[in-house]
Amino acid sequence: MAFQYLGQAILVSLQPLNLLVLVLSTAAGLIMGMLPGLSATMAIALLTGLTYNFPTQTALISLVAVYVGAISGGCQSAILLNIPGTPASAATALDGFPMAQRGEGGYAIFLATTASFLGTFISVIFVLTLTPLLTEFALKFRSWEFFLLAIFGVVICGSLTSQGNALKGWISGILGLLVAQIGLDSLNTYPRFCYGNVNLMSTIQLIPVMIGLFGFPEIVRAFRKNSEQNVIKVNKFEMKRGFRSIGKNFVAIVRSALIGVGVGIIPGVGEDTGGWLSYWASKSTSKHPETFGKGEELGVISTETGNNACIGGAIIPVLSLAVPGSAPAAVLLAAFLMHGYRPGPLLMTESPSFVYNVCIYLAFASFAMWLIAMLVSKLTIRILGVQKKILMPIIFTLCVVGSYLINYNLFDIKVMFVFGLVGMILSNLKFPAAPFLLGVILGPMADSNLRRGLNLSNGSLLPLVTQPICIFFLALILIMILSQTGLFKLFRKKNRKEAK
Amino acid sequence: MDTQSKDFIFSFVLIALGIFVLISGIAIFNDAALPPYSVTEFSLSPGFMPVVLGAALLLCSILLFFQSLKGKGSFKAAVCENSRQFANWIKPAFKSQDTIYMAVGILFMFIYSYFLVGWLPYWAASLIFLVALMLFLRAAKWWKVIIISLAAVGLIVLLFQVCFNAALPS
C-alpha cells in the first residue's frame, strides 16, 4: 500500500501545474530565505494565505517547496553578505563568508546548496519510517494525554525558543493559549471574550495571527535608516571539485543529517540549532579544528546538511502528534489544518496517503531547490541588492491579501494588524513568538480535552498520576520546568561539594 | 534601556492582564451557570480554562517582575533603577529618527488596513499605500516609486484575480 501511495504522489508531483508551482514556490522560498529579515516562518505564513484557493495537493507542494527553499536560500546571503538570510544559516556565514572573501563564493554556494539537498533528502527517509511508528504510539492517547501533550508542546517550545529565559517563552505560550479562548467554546458554545462582536465569535483565525506575528515586525524594522550592503562578486561553481569534496565528507554529511533530524524532532528546537550542532560536531571531530571559522569547506557542508535535515525532522512530530518541531513547522501545521488535514494520531487512519505525499513533495522540492539555486544564483545575487524599503511595503500588501483570502473577511486584515503590533512588542521585549503561535494552535485542544477529561473522571485529577502516558508527559513537563529554574545546577553543585 | 528594565515595566502590564483574565473567567463561570447554559460545575464551565490561564499568567508575570529586579541591589533600589532607566529611555526613544520612521510607517499601514482596503478597490488602495510609504521612506526617486508600485500592484492583481480567480477586497 505504501508503494502505491508513493507512486500516486510522484504522479501528482509530475502534473504540469504542480511542477510549475513547485518551481515557482521553491524559487520564491529561495528568494525569501536569502533576504535577511524574511524568515522561513514568514515565507510559509505568507504563502499559506495565498494558497487558500489552490487545489489541496498543489497547495501542499507549494508550502513544502517554500519551506525547503527558504531554509536553503539563507546560505547565499550568509556566504556573500556575511548576513544569514535565516537564523538557520547563521553558522554557514562563519566559513562561507571567508571562502567568498578569498574568491570562492560560487564554490561555497555550490557546496552549501548540494549539502542542503542531501540534508533534506536524507531526512525524508526518516519521515517515512518514523512517522507511522510515532502515530501508532499516539493512537493510545485519550483526553488527558491530549491535554498534557498540548501543555508539553507549549512548555518545551517556550523553553527552547526563549534564548536563555524560559519564563518569557512560557508567558508567550500562555498568551497564545489565551487568544485561543476567544470565540464560542467548543463544549457549551458559550461566547468567551467576544463582547458581542460576531467576528470574534467565530474565533480568531490562525493565519492572520501568524502573518502578523512573524511578518509585521520584519516589515516595520525595514523602515529604519540602515546602511546598504555590498555583495561580493561570485566565481564559478567548480562542480567537479565540489562533488569531490562532497564525496570526501560523506560521513560528516550523514552525521549532520542525523543530528538535524534528531534536533528537528524535538518540539520547539529550530533549524538554527540543527545547523549549529552539526557545525560543532564536525569541528570537534575534525583533525584540524583550527581551520574552522577561516573558510573551512566542511563547516559550510555540515551546517547546511544539519539545518536542512531539520525540515524532515520537524515535520515528523507535526504529522504524528500535531506538535511542531520548529517555528516554520508550526506555521506548516496551521497550513495543513487550513487545507483540511488533521495531523496527529488519527492522520494515518483519516488520510493514510498524506505522509507519503509530504515525503515525495519534500524530495521533489529538495531536487528543485538544488537545480533552481544553481540556475538562478546570478539573478538571486542581484535580488540581494534590492532595498528593503522597496520590498517590505510590497510584502505588506501581500500580507493583507493573505489574511483576507482565508474567509474573504476584512476583519481578518484588522486582526493581522493587531497581532502584528503584538508581534512587534514581543520581539522588542525578546519574547519568542513561536510559543505564542503554538498556544493559539493547541489552545482549543488543551481546553476541550481538559474539560472532557474532568467530566469523565467526575472532576478528579487522579488520571493524571495513574495513567502511564500521563505520568510520562507530566514527568517531562516537570523536568522541563525544573531544569529551567536552576534547581538541577544546585543539585550538581551540592553533589560536587560532597564528592570533594 | 536594558532588557531587565523592559521586563520590569512589561510585568505590570502582564499582571494587569492576568488579573483581568482571572476576573473574566470567574464572570464567565457565573454567567454560564445561568440558563440557557446552566453549567454549574466549575471544572466543566467555559470559564474554567480562562481562570487556569489567568492564574498561570499572573504567577509567571510576578516571577518576571522579581526576575527583573535581580542583581540590582535591594528591592527599593532595583525598582528605582528600573524606573529611572525607563524614564531616561522613553524621551530619546520618541525623538529618535528610527522610531519616528517606524511609527509613521505603522500609521500608513494602519490607514491602509483599516480604511483604504474595503473603502477603495484593492488595486487603488494598494497603489496609494505603496506610493505614499515608499515616498515617505525615500526608497527611490518619485517616478521609480510610481513605476515599482504600478508593477507590484499589477502583478498581484494579475496573479490572484486573473490566474487564481480569487476575489480581492473591493
pLDDT 10s digits, A303-334: 899 989 988 888 888 888 887 777 788 888 88
Q: By CA distance, what is A454's nearest residue in B?
A: B43
Q: Are residues B169 and A404, on separate chains, in Cβ contact within 8 Å?
A: yes
The identity of residue A373, as a single letter, is: A
The identity of residue A133, as a single letter, is: L
pLDDT of residue B16: 96
Cell of B90: 522613553
pLDDT of B21 above 90: yes
pLDDT of A230 above 60: no
Between residues A272 and B70, which one has the greater pLDDT? Answer: B70
- Residues in chain A with CB shorter than 8 Å from the CB of B167 are 408
pLDDT of A227 above 50: no
Average pLDDT of every residue of chain B: 88
Q: In this complex, is the C-beta atom of B24 within 8 Å of any C-beta atom belonging to chain A?
A: yes
Looking at CA atoms only, how far is residue A432 from chain B in angstroms?
Answer: 14
**ipTM exceeding cut-off 0.90 for this assembly:** yes
Give the model confidence (pLDDT) of A442-456 as tens digits. 888 889 889 999 888
Taking residues B18-39, what's their average pLDDT?
92
Cell of A450: 481538559
- Range from A179-193, A266-280, A486-500, B19-33 that averages highest in pLDDT: B19-33
Taking residues A456-462, what's their average pLDDT?
86
- Residues in chain B with CB shorter than 8 Å from the CB of A459 are 41, 43
Give the model confidence (pLDDT) of A365-411 as tens digits. 999 999 988 887 767 666 666 677 888 898 889 888 878 877 788 99
pTM metric for this prediction: 0.76
Give the model confidence (pLDDT) of A124-174 as tens digits. 988 888 887 877 777 777 888 888 888 887 887 777 667 678 899 899 999
Q: In this complex, is the C-beta atom of B46 within 8 Å of any C-beta atom belonging to chain A?
A: yes
CB pairs under 8 A between A and B: 152
Q: By CA distance, what is A55's nearest residue in B?
A: B164
- Residues in chain B with CB shorter than 8 Å from the CB of A171 are 14, 57, 60-61, 64
Lowest pLDDT segment from A77-81, A88-92, A160-164: A160-164
Q: Are residues A53 and B165, on separate chains, in Cβ contact within 8 Å?
A: yes
**Do the Cβ atoms of A105 and A67 come closer than 8 Å?**
no
Percent of chain A with pLDDT over 70: 90
Lowest pLDDT segment from A255-269, A444-458, A463-477: A255-269
